Amino acid sequence: MAAAGIRSHEGVTASPAGHPHVAPTSFWALTLGSIGVVYGDIGTSPLYALKESLAAATGHAGSSALTREMVLGVASLILWALIIIVTLKYVVLVLRADNNGEGGTLSLVTLAQRALGAAAGATIVLGMVGASLFYGDAIITPAISVLSAVEGLKLVTPAFDPYVVPLSLAILITLFAAQRFGTAGVASLFGPLTAFWFLVMALGGLMHILDDPGIIAAISPTYGLGFLAGHGTAGLHALGAVFLSVTGAEALYADLGHFGRAPIRTAWLGLVFPALAINYLGQGAMLLAAPEGLENPFFLLYPAWALLPMVILATAATVIASQAVITGAFSISQQAMHLGVIPRFRVLRTSETEKGQIYIPLINWLLLFAVILLVVLFESSSALAAAYGIAVTGDMVITSCLLFIVAWKFWRWSPTVAGLVIAPFLAIELVFLSANVLKIPQGGWFPLLTGTGLFILMRTWRKGTHLLAEITYRDRPPLAEFIRTAEQSTVPRVPGTAIFLTGNAQDVPAALLHNLKHNKVLHEKNIILTVVTEEVPRLRDESRVTTEKLSDRFSRVTVRFGFMEHPNVPKALKAADFDLENASFFLSRRALQASPDAGLPLWEDYIFIPLARSASDVSDQFCIPEDRAVEVGARVAI
């Protein structure tokens, strides 16, 4: 047996947890759940979006510099950002671009690759950049959302000031710890609470629109355009903060697999958008009547007796807001595994009926670590506001570029029509991106630094796995030729059955080659086994295992599982009448060694090798008993 090292990840990741059959989740239950999980992020933007936008417009000079033109202009920009970017682009258009029910940047990459074929090389790079930026958003959103709500306690009494950061950290740790219960479990609690939050927000706005009914004029886009035209650099800074009102749109798309297109659209048009619009108009009307409320216009919408309950409700809402990007990060991570840009980690399925509802423990705890670091570094929501936006705008720009390819090549639109539809969104997002670039020195460097680091990790993993596959298969003979030679060879035959796992049923498994090389024996029966995960929850036993006889001693077997099934390979083979009493499972194992001459630079070796060691174990994935598993392989310089 070769020295210890890295197990090869041959086969397909399958669900490690199965569940009994349950009835499909109802449409209205999914709609209510989507309000809690999908719209939690964008639903807490009123806590800080208008305040930060007007602070940027006044140069942080406070209410003394606030003008009627500023309030109407910024309110108009926020409303039209919600209409154009969220409603028209994401809810109407982007949600159409699902890959077997899944959304997110990498779903667009998959669709684009499918349409472009061999010419799709650049799309995977765009996808890696987009995914890296989304992870940056997934780190910042929980931090800024929870901090902004807990800071409301300072309006109750300044004595709470020293406890804002510790309390925020305690809330965030609790939230991430709850992820193991699954999206459905979280949504059942978060949905009704967030629906109540939107209703209360709408009520707060309605109570103040009559403070100055002239705020209704902000519905006209001319006020927003006039504000930008008349305020130069200050207008651009304000525009960067206006973008805070639409953060959460990318999470909306990434969470598509958790709830489905129709429930997400119904929730937005029926409750979320109207409540947001009314609340922003209410804040604007209050500020037109009382500019001194700029310190915290959201909480000042409510009477003094309701302040503490609103802070508590807002804190709960911001915890829920974090859920949107966390579940989105799980979905993006799973897609990244399928595309081969990150290692295969353990994926837990948390729903019998919704195949997109998953939980990835390692991603969950890495996100928590990064969020804690961010809260400790920045300490306040205003400081974090400068870091927020640049990652999301960059991700949106990439989404628009990929959407053009999908519309043109996959949906079969003419390039002219695709360009006319996508170009306005792209132009607006490029303006937002330019505005957010101004915030790099104040904190925008953080998502850029995070995204760059993650992109390097993804690129190194993809490059390393391709190189490793090239080294692995370089000297392997074709399967038919190998079987012919093995049948005619004089190597000793030993009793029993050897089962060799492989991800490609057309190639000679590495474990088979190394078993011959190291042990110099051939079993009486040899099975080349491939595991496949199908796009259905469960399979009938009669369609699970297929067998093809290749020669007297060799057979090719494929075992299929539904995405919700426990991938128990020995159990599946026994159910198909395979005799496993005298069978052993052979797994290939590669001990990776850094080498400056093998293909990767040394600095990439020191990234790739730990990543490979962190990937999930094949024998654990497929429930292969330790006393039945034999690991063989060799050291590989890379």
What CATH number does residue 435 fall under?
1.20.1740.10
Asked, for residue 96, whether it belongs to a domain, the answer is yes
Name the average pLDDT for the chain: 81
Choose the weakest-confidence range: 156-165, 396-405, 512-521: 156-165
How far are the Cα atoms of 201, 543, 577, 580, 629 from residue 574, in angstroms, in the given order?
A: 58, 14, 5, 7, 16
Give 522 or 130, the one with higher predicted confidence. Answer: 522
Distance, CA of 258 to CA of 40 (rounded, Å): 14
pLDDT for residue 618: 75
Domain end call among 463, 497, 532: 463
Whether 10 has a pLDDT exceeding 80, the answer reads: no
d(CA 403, CA 94): 7
Number of domains in the chain: 2
Which residue type sits at 634? A
- Cα 577 to chain centroid, rounded: 41
Is residue 3, in this structure, part of any structural domain at all?
no
**Are 318 and 209 within one domain?**
yes
pLDDT confidence of residue 85: 92
**Residues 480 and 540 both lie in one domain:** yes
CB 143 within 8 A of CB 375: yes
Do 402 and 521 sit in the same domain of this protein? no
Distance CA 434, CA 316 (A): 33
Q: Any residues with CB less than 8 A from the CB of 488 and at least 6 apart, and which?
A: none
Q: At 186, is the pLDDT very low, low, confident or very high (cuts 50, 70, 90)?
A: low
Name the residue among 529, 525, 521 with its Cα closest to residue 587.
529
Whether residue 617 lies inside any domain: the answer is: yes
What pLDDT is recorded for position 174? 85
Q: Are residues 492 and 414 part of one domain?
A: no
Pairwise CA distance, residues 182 & 327, whole Å: 9
In the listed set 438, 463, 488, which residue is the last one of a domain according to the structure? 463
Local confidence band at 13 (pLDDT 50, 70, 90 cut-offs): very low
Confirm whether 20 is domain-assigned.
no
More confident site: 554 or 20: 554
Q: Is residue 208 part of a domain?
A: yes
Interatomic CA distance for residues 12 and 503, integer angstroms:
7
Res. 9 pLDDT band, cuts 50 70 90: very low
Q: Tell me, what's the pLDDT at 487? A: 84
- Pair 175, 302 in one domain: yes
The answer to which of 340-349, 408-417, 455-464, 484-493 has the lowest mean pLDDT is 340-349
Q: 551 phi and psi, to 5 degrees?
A: -165, -170
**What six digits make up the tokens of 446?**
């953080």
| Per-residue model confidence as pLDDT tens digits over 229-256 | 888 788 888 888 888 898 778 777 877 7
β-bridge pairing 493-501 and 522-533: parallel
Categorize the per-residue pLDDT at 595 as very low, low, confident or very high, splitting at 50, 70 and 90.
confident
Sign of CA dihedral 495, 497, 503, 506: positive
Secondary structure class of 123 (helix, strand, coil): helix
**What share of the chain in percent tops pLDDT 70?**
89
CA 179, CA 349: separation in Å to the nearest integer? 12
Looking at the fold, whether 487 and 449 belong to one and the same domain comes out as no
Q: Which range, of 245-254, 417-426, 490-499, averages the lowest pLDDT?
A: 245-254
Residue 80 within a domain:
yes
Q: Give the pLDDT of residue 8.
A: 36
Per residue, the 3-state secondary structure of 477-490, as one string, reads CCHHHHHHHHHHCC
3-state secondary structure of 28: helix
Mean pLDDT of 16-40: 64
How far from 434 is each of 115, 238, 264, 394, 452, CA to CA, in Å?
31, 12, 30, 10, 18
Give the residue ranges of DSSP H helices in 379-414. Answer: 381-385, 390-405
User: What's the farthest any 2 CA atoms get from each other in the chain?
Assistant: 95
| For residues 122-126, average pLDDT | 79
Distance (Å, whole) CA 99 – CA 410? 11
DSSP secondary structure code for residue 508 in this structure:
-
**Same domain, residue pair 440 and 536:** no
- Tell the residue number behind the tokens 């080659």, with chain if given: 513
Q: Distance between CA 438 and CA 452 in Å, rounded?
A: 18
Residues 69-112 have pLDDT tens digits of 999 999 999 999 999 999 999 999 988 887 777 777 777 887 88
Residues in the chain, overall count: 638
Q: Do 388 and 318 belong together in one domain? A: yes
3-state secondary structure of 311: helix
pLDDT in tens, 382-394: 777 777 778 788 8
Domain enclosing residue 344, as ranges: 28-463
Give the model's pLDDT for residue 24.
Answer: 46
pLDDT at 221: 93
- Would you state the pLDDT for residue 2? 34
Higher pLDDT, residue 203 or 10: 203
252 and 156 within one domain: yes
Residue 12's pLDDT is 35
Domain-embedded: residue 470: no
Kindly state whether residues 256 and 139 are assigned to the same domain: yes
**pLDDT reported for residue 252:** 78
Strands (E), 394-535: 493-501, 522-533
Q: Which of 318, 214, 238, 246 is nearest to 90 (CA)?
A: 246
Mean pLDDT (whole number) for 28-39: 82
Do 310 and 395 sit in the same domain of this protein? yes
- With respect to residue 623, please indicate whether it lies within any of the assigned structural domains: yes
In this structure, are 500 and 407 located in the same domain? no
Which residue has tokens 């399958």?
Answer: 14
Q: Which of 395, 428, 463 is the last residue of a domain?
A: 463
Identify the residue with better confidence: 118 or 248: 248
Distance, CA of 239 to CA of 62 (rounded, Å): 17
Confidence label for 616 from pLDDT (cuts 50, 70 and 90): low
Residue 426's pLDDT band, with cuts at 50, 70 and 90, is very high
Statement: residue 540 has pLDDT above 60:
yes
CB atoms within 10 A of CB 327: 29
What pLDDT score was predicted for residue 605? 82
